[in-house]
Structure 1
Amino acid sequence: MLKLKNIKKQFGDLTVLDGIDLELKKGEVAAIIGPSGTGKSTLLRCINLLETPTKGTIEIDGFSVDSKNLSPKDCIELRKKTAMVFQNYSLFKNKTVLENIMMPMTLVQKKDKKVAEEEAMALLKKVGLADKRDYYPSRLSGGQQQRIGIARALAVHPEIILFDEPTSSLDPELVNEVLELIRELSNEHECTMLIVTHEMRFALEIANKIIFMEKGKVVEEGSPNELLYNSTNERTRSYFKQFIDN
């Protein structure tokens, strides 16, 4: 469903991603973990072409692009298959909650406004915020804003949702409400999810696959049990040891 082959990303002389190969099946939930500064968020941004890989190919649901021969049409088609949930919510401050969710449907998908409003209200109910439809983002808590961001991502019916540290900007008491929503979505198996997170216990609980990255490379990948208890890689074992001990 998602196939990455030899994805590299350089900023000048700095190599951030160094030959990433990765495959996800349809409906799979994968968590990317690892030390800060190892390229996890950059990888997500390369998948939906917010950053153009220096080298490599990306395939989503049978549609493949080569970073060396990208056309504007390729970028549009690939982005139609993905949606991103950002660290900082990225809501339009001058739009209501309902309008924020409707925008990708009316502007990108060209849906009828009435149809888009009905679908947006259904999504607001799904994330438990139907009563906030006419609020502006400034009136919402961080957790509520992130839930709206997730609803907006769902609005375009993507093949894959990319979560970039979805709780990193939240106060500790608001983290659980967002994690619980992601957990509910994962149980529904509606779409594939790739989650960059430092919430280790959440990652181990929710993910079918754990991807451990360091220094721009995939060190090891496998099921939570494989990486946590049965890894043969010394670096993986040392990284996970703190979580076993705690």
Structure 2
Amino acid sequence: MWLQIGDFVFAAIRLNLAAVIACLPLVAILVLAIEPVRAFPTLIVAAWLSSPGLAACFAAFRDAPGFSAGPGCHEDLSGSTAGAARFWASGDVSIARPFARAYRRLFARSLSVSALPAGLALLLAVDAAWLASTDTLHALVPAMIVAISICMLDWVIGLVFVTELAMGSWWQIVKAAAVCAVRKWYLSIVTLVVLALLAAGVVHSPLPVLAIAASLALYLVWANCRWSALPVLRATIERR
């Protein structure tokens, strides 16, 4: 057990560097902006540009041997023609080369799938900022925040579908991800809390968070999102 835990932590620390490089636009905004929340249009665009890096991290959590000590969400779905091929070979302990391969193969699909949720989140964030400045419509801001949260969950769960499935249009994935986010609302709340804590940690203490805790937090996000998406993934695999 202790050996498995050590392998998990060692793999997470090595993945941190690859994740920082792949998600550099988002990391740069969080670290360098004086008030990242006020720069929300740029922050959302940077998050969208970092989607391939996040998808590659999800592929590492699914395939890399060091992360196999996790919970039952590691169910292998790659045996079907609908399932995406594994990016890490059995016993492959390296991180950099398989991560780069996953990043390259998932680049186009991850950007296309996350484009609609990111665009809606940007429009809603602009509207929420305008509503907050009015005297009569500011009561609508909480509803706008809920809508932005659903867009974020749609984006993250959609990347899980991109990682797991070799088929499906971007529109089908976006719809399925939205349904999973709403049906498993309790897991969605945990995912949002972890993402918020990770972003706050990067803003206030970037070095220790990016060096140690980033991939551990992202692993929890991936586990929640994959558990939410598993019923749809199983149904898709069984139909093929």
Report the TM-score when normalising by structure 2. 0.24
Indicate the structure with greater strand content.
1
Report the TM-score when normalising by structure 1. 0.23
Indicate the structure with greater helix content.
2
